[in-house]
Amino acid sequence: MTLAAARKVADAVLYEGYLLYPYRASAGKNQVRWQFGIVGPPGAVESGAGEEPTMRSECLLEVADGAAARVDVQVRFLQVQVRSTERSTGSGSFEPVDELTVGPATWIRWHEAVERGVAHDGLLVDELEELHTYAVEVPGGEEIELLTDDDGREVGRLVRTRTPLRGELRVVVSRTRDQRSDQGRLRRLSVELVNQTEWSANPTGLDRPRDVAAMSSFVGAHLLMAVEDGAFVSITDPPEWAAEAAATCSNHRCWPVLVGEPGSTDVVLASPIILADHPEIAPESPGDLYDSTEIDEILTLRIMTLTDDEKRAARGTDPRAGAIIDRSDTMPPEIFERLHGALRGFETPVAPAPDLDDVPTFGTAPWWNPAVDAAVSPENDTVQINGVAVGKGTRVRLHPSGRGDAQDIFIDGLTAVVAGVYFDVDGDTHVAVVVEDDPAAELHEWYGRFSYFRPDELEPLAELEPSVGPARTGGQP
């Protein structure tokens, strides 16, 4: 997989939260822009106007002995530009206005963004054992777009202004302690983005310090890394032999995940948004919606309810908003139906009717027989863990295994209360819990939204042991 092939997922990260429904500048939620991956200029945090000036990712590389492994490193981000509206006063002169209407379009003062990227390819891993720094420089500029009416007369203009950005990409490879696989030794690849932009100037007359700092920030910043003659090792779910090395990786304001088809190990995306390894864009999604963690069907339905005036205001806010409105207005029914949902990971094999003697049962009832419900009671069933009958009401300590999800890292060691014990048709046991420190614990319990763990991921806390129901093992009552 190449970095170019990984860009579809990376673009979703780049524009996540760029513009929020209802896609109008007048909406309160669009008054404060830029949510993710903000690498601010020096001093922005201290002044309360912006975010930290660094982002760092550390990941693991597996390099065969004697191999001349190379890595490509790319930083991608948005450069903010202010779009000002000016009305023509005649004789080639213009004056600033808050709003400018030209035919059916209305333009307002707004902050847009331009995609930027700086790539350094073919870096020899062995040579990176000493720190290498690479400049990240993007020029500022001003662009003018004249607006004319149907008769060709100049009505006004849009002035887009950008301030220059300057920073460094710091890359170094270090050797881990003796961890190695059959293929070679592990290396730790560290990549840090540092913003060094001066930002005291305010060339566009912005009112809020936050907006001034944003113009000197790397927005939606993330890192893409590819390796040749080597392989990346997941630090979200590392193999056992690499677990110790994975635990020593330090990531600041981003998290590295493997990108590409499941099983591929040649590209890593260090994202400011928590992702699992091998993220993908749903094939049913017809296009970007930008609204943070959007659900396509719900947002599209809401867009369809906008009035013509609201849609006109969205189109005048940002060209990307206009594209969303146009796509929703012209979406064919068969495309819209695809947004309703999809099931993945299931196969429906063609097979003869089951022999009842071979069907898994609870007691004497086949698993698909409704009578099985009478034999299973999650609120009363228990499971033996370390000699303790664990059931509803038992307090437990969580020890998630496998590190299959970044959320597991956050809850490791926390306490929870068991809400029920469930047995599936394969004979496995699942313990439903509510985390005690979760501010929404009561709400989760009210509508039955639980977290589920295997018994070996739980440690009973002996002070509250229920004495309900007989303990069960496997899937048998």
Look at residue 82 and tell me whether its pLDDT is greater than 60.
yes
Residue showing tokens 């993007």: 138
Kindly state the helix (H) or strand (E) to which residue 299 belongs, with its residue range.
helix 296-304
Q: Strand, coil or helix: what is 312?
A: helix
**Model confidence pTM above 0.85:** no
Alpha-carbon distance of 468 to 377, in angstroms, equals 11
Least Cα distance to 74 among 131, 6, 176 occurs for 6
Q: Which residue type occupies 230?
A: G
Burial class (CB in 10 A: 0-12, 13-18, 19+), 427: exposed
pLDDT in tens, 390-422: 999 999 999 998 655 667 778 889 999 999 999
φ, ψ for residue 170 (rounded to 5)?
A: -110, 120
Tokens coding 238: 């590392």
Determine the pLDDT at residue 440. 85
Instruction: Label residue 275 by pLDDT band (50, 70, 90).
Output: very high
Beta bridge mates, 365:
362
Q: Is the pLDDT of residue 470 over 50?
A: no
Q: d(Cα 192, Cα 75) in Å, to the nearest integer?
A: 10
- d(Cα 444, Cα 450) in Å, to the nearest integer? 7
Using an 8 Å Cβ cutoff, are 415 and 428 in contact? Answer: no
Domains of the chain: 7-333 (no CATH), 374-460 (2.30.30)
pLDDT at residue 351, rounded to an integer: 47
3-state DSSP of 154-176:
EEEEEEEEECCEEEEEEEEEEEE
> What pLDDT was estimated at residue 475?
38
Work out the average pLDDT over 465-469: 42
Average pLDDT over every residue of 44-69: 92
pLDDT at 306 over 50: yes
Whole-number mean pLDDT of the chain? 85
pLDDT at 266: 94
CA 61 to chain centre: 23
Q: How far is CA 29 from CA 17, 44, 298, in A?
A: 10, 22, 18
The token pair that represents 388 in the structure block: 């303790």
Distance (Å) of CA 267 to CA 10, 170, 184: 12, 19, 18
Nearest to 80 by CA among 49, 119, 132, 115: 115
pLDDT at 370: 55
pLDDT the model gives residue 202 = 59
3-class DSSP assignment, residue 362: strand
- Hey, what are 214's tokens? 């944003």
pLDDT tens across 228-257, in order? 999 999 999 999 989 999 999 999 999 999
**DSSP helix/strand/coil, 372:** helix
pLDDT digits (tens, 9 = 90+) for 96-141: 998 898 887 888 889 999 999 999 999 999 999 999 999 999 999 9
What pLDDT, in 10s, does the model give residues 150-205?
888 899 999 999 999 999 999 999 988 766 666 668 999 999 999 999 886 555 56
8 A C-beta contact, residue 254 and residue 273: no
Q: With CA atoms as reference, report the closest residue to 161 among 114, 100, 207.
A: 114
Q: What is the pLDDT of residues 418-445, one digit of tens each?
A: 999 998 877 789 999 999 988 888 888 8
pLDDT (tens digit, 9 = 90+) per residue, 348-393? 444 455 454 555 555 555 544 555 556 678 888 999 999 899 999 9
Q: Which residues, in sequence order, are bridge partners of residue 47?
A: none
pLDDT higher than 60, residue 465: no
> How many CA atoms, within 13 angstroms, populate the side-chain half-sphere of residue 416?
31
Span 277-296, average pLDDT: 84
The CA–CA distances, whole Å, from 205 to 108, 161, 209, 418 equal 15, 11, 10, 57
Whether residue 181 contacts residue 40, with contact meaning beta carbons closer than 8 Å, is answered with no
Distance from C-alpha of 155 to C-alpha of 148, rounded to nearest angstrom: 5
